[in-house]
């Protein structure tokens, strides 16, 4: 009988090993021939060892003289023959379905066929577990009978039965080692996640991401605590074929710290951009120090989570995953989120509440009623790149390096507002339309500090744009504002900083289509300009409304300004109506007020930094327009050779230095400065009064010369080192 037992045990062990190999292989746990042999032999050895250990333990406790009770053990081994049907791909679910139907366990109704199909689908998905359950049921039932047979057998010596246990232990040990080697081969065959991130473009937006193969595991050192959320951005790789693009991916994030937590869910992938995935604050464990990220095309099953061993997927699919970005969740104690909207071409004289004779900006006016406003704010340069970088850094264009043909790079000495806020765990994004104009484009330094940087611009093709048309098909700056609103809506669970530059006012063709949508009785340039402003006023109001809706308790800081005044053809570049721009700050805790002191765009970044309790670079402006406005004589500049302008409330001086900005190379002797009385100046009527005011002219010229030397000192040092 022992020989028969050994033969049946060997047969059932081999079949059990093959079953394990095939079942695990179907789930992606056998990545090759060698791992398949390992798992088959390992499971067979463990199975045989457990069988011997069971018999040895039973017979040691209840020793018998004869081996007749082993007959039932041999029969229990025969239950493994059930797996032969599994190898033949016979669907046990169909057989169960027929039995249930015969037994009348499937209800008959109008939806009986649909219910049967659904039930069959569920059973089909459980085909492998059904075979395993059926085997265990038959095997265990026979073993119970054998157990009672042993109890009724005549008693015998106990010592001999120790040999069963002695034989079992090496088999279990060998099987365990083989299974451990199999697990190692599974991890070795797993696709590797890239160690370093790269900049990828999805649609018109850039983000630093990794191209994760399906089934790979990305381990990231990231610290988070209670009150933090984890933000991810996902997209199809840019080189993927259209038919291979994924519509949905399932992300799993395993967070490790004092405790371990797991969060998973689907990401619906956009066809032309990034999609966002968030781990809520209440799911992030206390003192998280690292996390693992993986994805698959199908939802991860619960039994895989319980097993703790991930399958090896060889689909060769990849998904761009940016993050995790650890962001603070909004709270009553936290600083608010911030939206900064910068027009390109909106002068204060075009804002209804700041000097426009026409009602061009009713929505901005309503916002200004509950905000801090500075109607007499001046741009440091009537160029979008120069002004926007000043808004982000709080330093002069002669320091940050964006002016005229000079496009940076931004020196490492300076910190952008986005960098400062990201260090405080803000989610950050910029929408700049820079690709069209070649100014705020990705790669020239403006992207510093932004998790997402979108520089795209959708050209409009319509002959006219009505308000209804905009809702149906957004183009130009309307689409930019729409993309910004979508991003804000996806980040309402975190504190965020969104920077938006809208540039339609500088495009004559775009302005022409707005004129057609508005006053059709006149084709005058100013009519087109005012109509374009009215349309953008409505669109910007929509973005502000979306931002307030996304932020809990509408705790949002809104900053609105402009890079320069009008782009109309009859506008002088350094004229007062070109340099004067609006500044509106609506924020919790900031008292509404209209301040007529002169201010500069250099003061905006420092004001926001102080309000949000963040720190900029040492050389940035230290002004605080909220609590302590200072007496300013704003300085503006343009051109090469550099022309500088300085002004106070009554007078303005313009002086050509005849030197190149940054290098300070001379192009000739400095020109004579021109002084203007702003109380008597208007477009087309500017009179130089410098001869009548020589001392004022000299004082301001000396001030500009000193300013020029001081602001360029960093670039001069770099030029000296280069030589």
What does the alpha-carbon distance between residue 288 and residue 307 come to, in Å, rounded to a whole number?
23
Residue 648 neighbours by CB under 8 Å, 6+ apart: 598, 633
Is 718's pLDDT higher than 80?
A: no
Q: What is the pLDDT of residues 684-693, one digit of tens each?
A: 667 889 999 9
pLDDT band, residue 642 (cuts 50/70/90): very high
Q: What is the mean pLDDT of residues 473-480?
A: 83
pLDDT tens sequence across 197-227: 999 999 999 999 999 999 889 999 999 988 9
Is the per-residue pLDDT at 246 higher than 80? yes
Q: What tokens does 678 get?
A: 């702003």
Q: Residue 122's pLDDT is what?
A: 56
Q: Whole-model pTM?
A: 0.84
The set of residues, in sequence order, having a beta carbon less than 8 Å from that of 161 and lying 6+ positions away, is 56, 59, 60, 63
Q: What domains can you pick out in the chain, each with its CATH number?
A: 2-189 (no CATH), 198-328 (2.60.120), 337-632 (3.40.720.10), 639-723 (no CATH)
Residue 327 pLDDT greater than 60, yes or no: yes
Tell me how far CA of residue 582 lies from CA of 387, 389, 611, 712, in angstroms: 13, 17, 19, 28
* For residues 678-700, average pLDDT: 84
- pLDDT on residue 468: 39
Instruction: Answer with the residue of higher pLDDT: 112 or 251.
Output: 251
Confidence check: pLDDT of 465 > 50? no
Q: What pLDDT band is residue 303 in, cutting at 50, 70 and 90?
A: low
Number of other residues whose CB lies within 10 A of the CB of residue 695: 7
**Residue range 59-76: mean pLDDT, rounded:** 76
d(CA 513, CA 706) in angstroms, rounded, equals: 46
Percentage of the residues of the chain whose pLDDT score is greater than 90: 51
Of 200, 263, 193, 265, which Cα lies nearest the Cα of 236?
200
Distance CA 81, CA 135 (A): 9
Q: What's the whole-number mean pLDDT along residues 244-266?
A: 92
- CA–chain centroid gap for 716, Å, is 39
**Rounded to whole angstroms, how far apart are CA atoms 407 and 383?**
12
Q: Which residues contact 274 (CB under 8 A, 6 or more apart)?
A: 202, 203, 205, 207, 233, 234, 235, 322, 452
Average pLDDT over residues 460-474: 46
Where helices occur in 62-111 by DSSP H, the ranges are 70-77, 82-87, 92-102
- The answer to whether 329 and 553 are in contact (CB under 8 A) is no
Average pLDDT, the chain: 86
600-614 pLDDT tens trace: 999 999 999 999 999
Average pLDDT for 10-18: 92
Cα(473)–Cα(459) distance, rounded to whole angstroms?
12
Residue 461: predicted pLDDT: 47
The helix (run of H) or strand (run of E) holding residue 265 is: strand 260-268
What pLDDT sits at residue 569?
A: 64
Q: Which residues pair with 429 in a beta bridge?
A: 452, 498
pLDDT at res. 517: 53
Token pair of 638, please? 């343009």
Predicted local confidence at residue 234, as pLDDT? 97
Q: Are 544 and 367 in contact (CB under 8 A)?
A: yes
Lowest mean pLDDT among 8-22, 357-371, 584-598, 668-682: 668-682
User: Which tens digits make up the pLDDT trace of 531-567?
Assistant: 889 999 999 999 999 999 988 777 899 999 999 998 8
pLDDT, greater one: 499 or 180: 499
Q: Which of 416-430, 639-653, 706-720 has the highest mean pLDDT?
A: 416-430
Q: Where are the beta strands (DSSP E) in 388-468?
A: 402-403, 406-407, 427-431, 452-454
C-alpha angle 647-568-520 in degrees, rounded to nearest 5: 140
- Residue 579 CA to residue 566 CA, distance in Å, equals 9
Contacts of 573 (CB under 8 A, 6+ apart): 382, 638, 639
Q: Which helix (H) or strand (E) holds 210?
A: strand 205-213
Q: Count Cβ atoms below 10 Å from residue 702 Cβ, excluding itself.
A: 10
**Residue-level pLDDT at 471:** 41
């Amino acid at each position: 009988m022992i020989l028969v037992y050994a033969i049946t045990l060997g047969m059932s062990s081999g079949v059990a090993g093959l079953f394990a190999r095939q079942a695990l292989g179907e789930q992606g746990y056998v990545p090759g021939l060698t791992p398949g042999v390992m798992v088959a032999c390992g499971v067979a050895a463990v199975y045989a060892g457990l069988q011997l250990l069971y018999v040895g333990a039973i017979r040691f406790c209840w020793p018998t003289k004869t081996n007749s009770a082993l007959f039932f053990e041999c029969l229990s081994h025969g239950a493994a023959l059930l797996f032969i049907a599994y190898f033949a791909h016979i669907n046990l679910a169909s057989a169960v379905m027929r039995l249930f139907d015969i037994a009348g366990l499937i209800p008959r109704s109008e939806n009986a066929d649909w219910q049967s199909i659904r039930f069959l689908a569920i059973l089909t998905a459980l085909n492998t577990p059904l075979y395993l359950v059926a085997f265990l049921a038959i095997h265990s039932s026979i073993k119970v009978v054998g157990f009672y047979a042993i109890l009724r057998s005549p008693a015998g010596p106990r010592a001999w039965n120790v040999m069963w246990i002695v034989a079992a232990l090496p088999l279990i040990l060998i099987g365990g080692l083989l299974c451990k080697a199999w697990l190692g081969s599974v991890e070795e065959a797993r696709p590797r996640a890239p160690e370093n991130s790269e900049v990828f473009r999805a649609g018109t937006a850039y983000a630093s991401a990794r191209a994760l193969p399906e089934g790979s595991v990305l381990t990231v050192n990231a610290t988070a605590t209670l009150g933090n959320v984890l933000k991810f951005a996902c997209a199809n790789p840019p080189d993927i074929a259209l038919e291979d693009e994924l519509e949905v991916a399932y992300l799993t994030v395993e967070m490790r710290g004092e405790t371990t937590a797991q969060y998973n869910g689907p990401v619906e992938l956009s066809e032309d951009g990034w999609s966002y995935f968030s781990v809520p604050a209440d799911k992030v464990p206390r003192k998280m120090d690292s996390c693992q990220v993986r994805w698959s095309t199908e939802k991860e099953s619960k039994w895989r989570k319980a097993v703790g061993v991930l399958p090896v997927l060889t689909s060769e699919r990849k998904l761009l995953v940016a993050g995790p970005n650890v962001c603070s969740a909004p709270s009553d104690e936290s600083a608010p989120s911030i939206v900064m909207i910068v027009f390109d071409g909106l002068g204060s004289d075009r804002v209804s509440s700041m000097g426009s004779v026409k009602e061009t900006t009713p929505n901005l006016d309503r916002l200004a009623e509950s905000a801090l406003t500075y109607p007499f704010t001046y741009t440091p340069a009537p160029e979008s790149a120069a002004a926007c970088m000043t808004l982000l850094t709080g330093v002069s264009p002669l320091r940050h390096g964006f002016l005229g043909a000079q496009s940076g790079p931004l020196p490492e000495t300076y910190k952008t507002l986005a960098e400062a806020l990201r260090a405080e765990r803000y989610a950050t994004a910029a929408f700049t339309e820079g690709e069209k104009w070649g100014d705020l484009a990705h790669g020239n330094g403006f992207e510093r500090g932004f998790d997402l940087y979108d520089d795209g611009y959708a050209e409009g093709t319509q002959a006219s744009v009505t308000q209804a048309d905009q809702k149906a098909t957004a183009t130009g700056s309307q689409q930019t504002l729409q993309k910004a609103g979508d991003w804000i809506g996806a980040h309402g669970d975190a504190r965020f900083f969104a920077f938006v530059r809208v540039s339609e006012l500088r495009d004559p063709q775009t302005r022409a289509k707005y004129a057609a949508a508005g006053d059709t009785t006149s084709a005058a340039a100013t009519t087109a300009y005012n109509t374009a402003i009215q349309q953008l006023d409505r669109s910007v109001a929509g973005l502000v409304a979306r931002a307030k809706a996304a932020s809990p308790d509408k705790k949002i800081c809104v900053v609105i300004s402009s890079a320069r005044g009008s782009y109309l053809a009859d506008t002088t570049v350094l004229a007062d109506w070109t340099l004067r721009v609006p500044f509106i700050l609506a924020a919790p805790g900031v008292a509404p007020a209209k301040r007529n002191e002169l201010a500069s765009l250099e003061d905006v970044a420092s004001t926001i930094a102080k309000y949000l309790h963040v720190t900029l670079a040492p050389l940035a402006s230290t002004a605080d327009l909220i609590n302590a406005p200072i007496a300013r004589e704003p300085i503006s500049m343009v051109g090469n050779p550099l022309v500088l302008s300085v002004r106070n409330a009554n007078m303005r001086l313009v002086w050509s230095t005849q030197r190149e900005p940054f290098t300070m190379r001379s192009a000739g002797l400095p020109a004579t400065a021109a002084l203007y009385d702003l109380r008597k100046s208007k477009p087309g009527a500017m009179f130089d009064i410098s001869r009548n005011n020589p001392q004022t002219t000299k004082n301001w010229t000396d001030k500009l010369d000193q300013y020029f030397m001081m602001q360029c000192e960093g670039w001069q040092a770099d030029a000296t080192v280069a030589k």
